[in-house]
Amino acid sequence: MSKNSEKNNKRRDIIKIDHNLSKFKNRVFVRRYPAGDRSDLEMCFSPKALKRCLETVGSKRPETGAKGFSAVISDNPDENTVRIGFDIIEYDKIGSQNASGVMYSPNLEWSTQRVNYHMGAKDGRFWVGDIHSHPGYSGKPSGDYGDGRGDLGYVRKIFETYPFPLDFFLLPIITLEDGKIIIHPWIIDRKNPTKPLLAKVRVCDPSNFPVVELSDTVANLAPTIDGMYDLFNDQSDRIDELEKMIEELQKLVNDKLSKQLESRLAEERDMKKDLAEKAEYDTRTEASVPKEEFAEREEKESSDSRSDYQWAFAALEV
């Protein structure tokens, strides 16, 4: 398949999101992924959350991110169910500024503080997921590379080390394609965290968010801040290691290019030197021949050349 055909197919596989944000009219779409596995859960944004998402992660360079929180709305206090979606989205300014363009890593102190704040607030909110952007058309989560590395590895470690109150994690990825903001609506299920699922996207009031059951881990929420701090700290350390590796690789590449350039310049200098010496030799040779003798040589060479032409024409007439 040609690149143009592939690009056209990608354009056909997007659908426009129904919203009332005039600033982003006809610019916000969802990638469909016809062959992808589907989630029964919808991914819902409140209008203010979607606006904040588009103004930050959706408008800045790739590998920036934000955290999403949901108001804890229960239709029946006697049931272990709540309505969940993105009610508030907070942009991770520090983590996004520190992103190398290779990978976004949430800022440790900021993430811990914001989750702690919303959990302890009077109208408490759950942390329900992270939003981040990828470069180009790359809208799928990166894999599980072990020990919390990669998008899926990060979510799996959250499930394993942080008593997350839900059995799923919302992980929408944003790409900027031909002036459009594309949302890739991934949901990660605790039961199978290596298999991302696609969700239907809807913009609505939090009172219309989908109803879900709380995970059994919700009973352990009180002591989870230290666990989350350790999780983000580990993630931050791995990002630092990756950036050091990239810097070392870039240094090796630059050193090699520098040596190649120096070698090429030396060759060019030698070539120019040889040409200059030859030109100087030719000039000295010409100057050492008396003018009368030099004129005789030119006349002889001209005469020989005319004789050659005459012989050639004679041969043609025969």
In a domain, 86, yes or no: yes
Q: Which of 179, 209, 238 is a domain's end point?
A: 238
In a domain, 192, yes or no: yes
Q: Is the domain of 143 the same as that of 11?
A: yes
Q: Is the domain of 167 the same as that of 296?
A: no
User: Does the pLDDT value for residue 237 go beyond 60?
Assistant: no
User: Does the pLDDT value for residue 81 go beyond 90?
Assistant: no
Q: Please report which confidence band the pLDDT of residue 131 belongs to, taking 50, 70 and 90 as the band edges.
A: very high
Task: Tell how strand 43-45 and strand 201-203 pair up.
Answer: parallel
- pLDDT of 120 reads 86
Torsion of CA 99, 69, 114, 30, to 10 degrees: 10
Write out pLDDT tens, residues 88-100.
Answer: 999 999 999 887 6
pLDDT higher at 104 or 199:
199
pLDDT higher at 192 or 287:
192
Mean pLDDT of 287-300: 56
User: Does the pLDDT value for residue 286 go beyond 60?
Assistant: no
Q: Which of 238, 253, 273 is a domain's end point?
A: 238
In a domain, 271, yes or no: no
Contact 133, 92 (CB under 8 A): no
In a domain, 253, yes or no: no
Q: Is the domain of 9 the same as that of 67?
A: yes
Q: Is the domain of 42 the same as that of 172?
A: yes
Q: Is the domain of 124 the same as that of 16?
A: yes
User: Does the pLDDT value for residue 16 go beyond 60?
Assistant: yes
Q: Is the domain of 201 the same as that of 292?
A: no
Segments forming the whole domain that contains residue 308: 288-317
Q: Is the domain of 78 the same as that of 184?
A: yes
CB atoms within 10 A of CB 305: 10
In a domain, 144, yes or no: yes
User: Does the pLDDT value for residue 76 go beyond 80?
Assistant: no
Q: Is the domain of 203 the same as that of 90?
A: yes
Mean pLDDT of 280-289: 57
- pLDDT of 123 reads 82
Q: Count of domains in the chain?
A: 2
Q: Is the domain of 214 the same as that of 308?
A: no
Q: Please report which confidence band the pLDDT of residue 295 belongs to, taking 50, 70 and 90 as the band edges.
A: low
Closest CA to 147 of 50, 10, 259, 241: 241
Q: Please report which confidence band the pLDDT of residue 258 belongs to, taking 50, 70 and 90 as the band edges.
A: confident
User: Does the pLDDT value for residue 195 go beyond 70?
Assistant: yes
Q: What is the mean pLDDT of the chain?
A: 79
User: Does the pLDDT value for residue 180 go beyond 70?
Assistant: yes
- pLDDT of 219 reads 47
Q: Is the domain of 147 the same as that of 293?
A: no
Mean pLDDT of 35-46: 94
CATH of the domain at 100: 3.40.140.10
In a domain, 276, yes or no: no
Q: Is the domain of 294 the same as that of 184?
A: no
Q: Which of 219, 238, 257 is a domain's end point?
A: 238
In a domain, 163, yes or no: yes
User: Does the pLDDT value for residue 306 go beyond 70?
Assistant: no
In a domain, 263, yes or no: no
Instruction: Give CA–CA dist 114/125, Å, rounded.
Output: 10
Q: Where are the beta strands (DSSP E) in 60-184?
A: 65-71, 81-83, 88-91, 125-133, 168-170, 173-177, 180-184
Residue in the structure block whose two tokens are 């109803």 = 211
Q: Please report which confidence band the pLDDT of residue 11 belongs to, taking 50, 70 and 90 as the band edges.
A: low
User: Does the pLDDT value for residue 20 go beyond 60?
Assistant: yes
Q: Is the domain of 183 the same as that of 305?
A: no
pLDDT higher at 182 or 81:
182
pLDDT higher at 228 or 205:
205
Name the most confidently modeled range: 91-105, 127-141, 231-245, 253-267. Answer: 127-141
